[in-house]
Amino acid sequence: MLGVVLTSGGMDSCVTTAIAARECQKIALLHVSYGQRTQARELKAFNDIADFYQVEQRLVTNIAHLAQIGGSSLTDRTIEISPANLETTEIPTSYVPFRNAHLLAIATSWAEVISAGRIYIGAVAEDSSGYPDCRPEFYQAFQQAISVGTKPETQIEIITPVIALRKSEIVQRGLALGAPLQLSWSCYQGESLACGVCDSCALRLRGFREAGVRDPLPYAIEI
Amino acid sequence: MLGVVLTSGGMDSCVTTAIAARECQKIALLHVSYGQRTQARELKAFNDIADFYQVEQRLVTNIAHLAQIGGSSLTDRTIEISPANLETTEIPTSYVPFRNAHLLAIATSWAEVISAGRIYIGAVAEDSSGYPDCRPEFYQAFQQAISVGTKPETQIEIITPVIALRKSEIVQRGLALGAPLQLSWSCYQGESLACGVCDSCALRLRGFREAGVRDPLPYAIEI
């Protein structure tokens, strides 16, 4: 079984890559830049993780239209990245409208052409930012779109192995699998030091804290 | 009601644009190039149609990764465009894997940001090339993905106004609505003269013939 893995370079996708490497005979890694602020740093993390797993089949794409379309603090520098508020149920400014549908569409086209049977994506539903396109219902609906929207002989299954995990469980799972968490990058703002205060840093740091492990990344603040 | 229309520049999208212009207070037109052979000609058709309807809000995007991914004679010049065979039920080489999911994802992100309530797409199911992502089931599944994958306050409906029509009915509908069919472009191969033999030309020409009307476009063959 060949599996396509959507590897952004963040912690969740790093652990998802480790899971896919364990479950599939072979993996192919897909990275999608979308004009987000830290795209160069994330691409480096992607390549570091791909090197770690000695993956030859890599596809790096850029969907600049997400930045053209805007509507998110990640792609539009006139919108401020709000500091993390892990208590609220509001959708944060970092939400990139319907982003994960773009990622899955690219993964599906690639999977259909290279005859991969699975697409792994490291979406996290509960213990996360509240993005609507991270919920299980979204993946169920998209699975149906794949089933009816590709060739009859194409069989592609979306796998979301960390969707129901807490961040601390993702850290623990990654450690258990020997995932290279030190090579991943989660921060929405920094490229040499992680800021420690954006949504993504806050969630990651809470995960490490709850797991009782120190995050190996360098931070601009005391962690 | 603001409607986003996916206007490729072909006949079906031209008539779909005419229908949307009639049904919505305002329309915004979206064009997606994907490295297909005739993309310059199709972009011209898009702009001509947008000018005709005096549409100010236009978004032109390019998803070059569909050409990177390949698997289709439209984007990979090493795969020959097969001559039309309107009798077969096989999927032709011009099928671009899961292409319409990419178009809908872009349309949805844009619609969510500009608060459009509808997405129009000129997919044709029955009297067409047999692409799996042109069938009603695909649009139903994608509709569900939009409903659960966007913000709770976002309400976007996919409209496929010509999906059940025969090509001849699309021609007649276009004529009845005064759609600028002379500005549209359908050929997969030619840019100044339409080839008349590719799938897309063959379907278009059969539609005009069955409607009893002469196609206003210039062809490289006697039509």
ipTM, two decimals: 0.90
Strand A2-6 to A118-121 pairing: parallel
Amino acid of residue B159: I
Contact A61 B71 (CB under 8 A): no
Mean pLDDT of chain B: 92
For residue B154, tell me if it sits in a domain: yes
For residue B177, tell me if it sits in a domain: yes
For residue A197, tell me if it sits in a domain: yes
Amino acid of residue B170: I
CA-closest candidate to residue A204, choices A178, A174, A160: A174
Contact A132 B109 (CB under 8 A): no
B125-158 tens-digit pLDDT: 876 667 888 899 999 999 999 999 999 999 999 9
More confident residue, B64 or A20: A20
A107-124 tens-digit pLDDT: 999 999 999 999 999 999
Question: Residue B132: which of A68, A71, A150 has the nearest Cβ?
Answer: A150
For residue A218, tell me if it sits in a domain: no
Domain of B187, in residue numbers: 2-211
How far, in Å, CA of A115 to CA of B96, rounded? 15
CATH number reported for the structural domain that contains residue A77 in this entry: 3.40.50.620
- Are residues B116 and B107 in contact, defined by beta-carbon separation less than 8 angstroms? no
- Are residues B100 and B133 in contact, defined by beta-carbon separation less than 8 angstroms? yes
Residues of chain B in contact with residue A62, where contact means CB-CB under 8 angstroms, are 64-65
Q: What is residue A37's predicted lDDT score, i.e. its pLDDT?
A: 82
Q: Domain tally for chain A?
A: 1
Q: Count Cβ–Cβ pairs < 8 Å, chain A vs chain B.
A: 145
Tell me the average pLDDT across A38-50: 96
Three-state secondary structure call for residue A2? strand
Question: Residue A145: which of B96, B141, B147 has the nearest Cβ?
Answer: B141
Structure tokens at B122: 């000129």
Nearest CA-CA distance, residue A57 and chain B, Å: 12
How far, in Å, CA of B13 to CA of B160, rounded? 10
Percent of residues in chain B assigned helix, strand, coil, to nearest 5 = 40, 15, 45
Contact B61 A59 (CB under 8 A): no
Strand A58-62 to A118-121 pairing: unpaired
Residues of chain A in contact with residue B138, where contact means CB-CB under 8 angstroms, are 145, 148-149
What are the Cα distances from residue A100, in Å, to A34, A63, B138? 11, 12, 18
- Asked whether residue A103 carries a pLDDT value surpassing 70, the answer given is yes
B87-113 tens-digit pLDDT: 666 777 778 889 999 999 999 999 999
How far, in Å, CA of B223 to CA of B214, rounded? 9
For residue A116, tell me if it sits in a domain: yes
For residue B155, tell me if it sits in a domain: yes
For residue A217, tell me if it sits in a domain: no
Which residues are within 8 A (CB) of A130 and not within 5 positions of it... i.e. 6 or more apart?
A88, A89, A90, A91, A92
For residue A140, tell me if it sits in a domain: yes
Which residues are within 8 A (CB) of A164 and not within 5 positions of it... i.e. 6 or more apart?
A125, A126, A136
Read off the pLDDT band of A64 (50, 70, 90).
Answer: confident
